[in-house]
Amino acid sequence: MGVPLLDLKAQYRELQAELDAAIGDVMANAAFIGGPKVKGFEEAVAGYCGTTYAVACGNGTDALFLIMAAMGIGKGDEVITTPFTFWATVECIRHVGATPVFVDIEPGTYNMDVSQIEAAITPRTKAILPVHIFGQCVDMDPLLEIAERHGIAVIEDACQAIGATYKGKRAGSLAHAAAFSFFPSKNLGAAGDGGMITTDDADLAARARKLASHGTSKKYFHDAFGTNSRLDALQAAILLVKLPHLDRWNGERRAAAAVYGELLAGVDGLELPVARDFGDAVYHLYIVKTESAEAAETVMGALKEAGIGTALYYPLALHEQEAFDHVDGFVRPSLPMAESCDARTFALPCFPGITREQQEEVVAVVRRALAGA
């Protein structure tokens, strides 16, 4: 029968009347840039995350870039981050002129290993950039304690984690500032690109907003060299319709993850994701790990043959990427845990509305392929 990795068409069918009305509203008012939908969505996200400010921008990559630029991070500075994330995380560090410093990840959660951060701090360290990978928060309390002791800023890459919690607080409200993405496949997805910065820091919010708008605080007067990074009103209108459904969708992802936990328990040769008990994960992706790249290839091949969506997340850790060949002074670290994931960690379908029958179908294929591997 087949199972997609994610079913966005079902999500549209569920909300079609509301979404079409919201889109029609923007078209009828012809307010495409800025305006009440964008402002309304900023307020809704700030309220949802529990921050004082939210600044909309073009995408999650821009959100990260704008935060770092607004913090004045630049040439000669170092930012400590994880090698097991989407490339945009380190791209932004490079684009402000700084150098990423990688620490290894923990097994099971695939999040950065907070116990390795302190040893990576140098006089040049300006920020720590934890990524709540696959929708589970990094263990923030010890990380924030280290950062505070050294006077270093902390930026959350919360692009995969909208709605996730840590000790009762939502991702996006756990550090100095956070970046969100509304790329269509994210847990809260637009019909195109979109991004958001959340923070409690009024100055930082104002600086980021100015940089996103050509360094302008008064029209045609520029006191900085910024860029053009906006959330379209159409996207804001769509996201405003979807946001009230996010917690339910995230709950369905968590329930689906629990079903996999039950159906895959005790399967030889497969490592299941570990959920820490300090909060709720939102399972942007449900990631399993095989004992070898060959086994992953076998299982993924069987899934694809059965019409079941899967993909490697991520095929190659970031410190091993070719682009670092050309970074002056970059010394490739050895990060065994991240490297052990190369071509071995992949996603199983885990989306709101997936049925137990669909999950049983996925698990049957995985079990059969592993038995034959």
* Window of 37-45, 56-64, 275-283, 305-313 that interacts with ligand PLP by CB under 6 A: 56-64
Q: How far is the CB of 88 from ligand PLP (least distance, A)?
A: 4
Position 86 contacts ligand PLP (CB under 6 A) = yes
CB of 83 within 8 A of CB of 317? yes
In the Cβ-directed half-sphere of 197, how many Cα atoms lie within 13 Å? 33
Position 235 contacts ligand PLP (CB under 6 A) = no
The CA distances from residue 150 to 104, 120, 153, 177, 331, in Å, are: 20, 12, 9, 17, 24
* Window of 58-66, 148-156, 162-170, 346-354 that interacts with ligand PLP by CB under 6 A: 58-66
* Window of 157-165, 232-240, 351-359, 364-372 that interacts with ligand PLP by CB under 6 A: 157-165
Nearer to ligand PLP by Cβ, of 159 and 288: the residue is 159
The CA distances from residue 34 to 55, 183, 239, 316, in Å, are: 11, 19, 14, 38
Q: How far is the CB of 201 from ligand PLP (least distance, A)?
A: 21
Position 183 contacts ligand PLP (CB under 6 A) = yes
Position 195 contacts ligand PLP (CB under 6 A) = yes
Q: How far is the CB of 89 from ligand PLP (least distance, A)?
A: 5
Report the alpha-carbon distance of residue 222 to residue 210 in Å, rounded: 9
Report the alpha-carbon distance of residue 149 to residue 118 in Å, rounded: 10
Interface positions, 87-106, toward ligand PLP (CB under 6 A): 88-89
User: Out of 38, 48, 55, 61, which residue is the one contacting ligand PLP (CB under 6 A)?
Assistant: 61
Position 159 contacts ligand PLP (CB under 6 A) = yes
Q: What are the backbone dihedrals phi and psi of residue 232, each rounded to the nearest 5 degrees, phi first?
A: -65, 145
Side chain identity at residue 79, one-letter code:
V
Site string for ligand PLP, 203-232 (x = CB under 6 A): ------------------------------
Q: How far is the CB of 322 from ligand PLP (least distance, A)?
A: 19
- Tokens describing residue 138: 């990094």
Q: How far is the CB of 28 from ligand PLP (least distance, A)?
A: 28
3-state SS, residue 101: strand
Residues 6+ apart with CB under 8 A from 57: 63, 66, 195, 196, 197, 208, 212, 229, 230, 231
Among candidate residues 319, 367, 325, the one with its CA nearest the CA of residue 342? 319
3-state SS, residue 195: strand
Nearer to ligand PLP by Cβ, of 77 and 193: the residue is 193
Nearer to ligand PLP by Cβ, of 127 and 131: the residue is 131
Nearer to ligand PLP by Cβ, of 240 and 306: the residue is 240
Position 85 contacts ligand PLP (CB under 6 A) = yes
Q: ω before 314 within 30° of 0 (cis)?
A: yes
Interface residues toward ligand PLP, by CB under 6 A: 59-61, 85-86, 88-89, 131, 157, 159-160, 181, 183, 193, 195
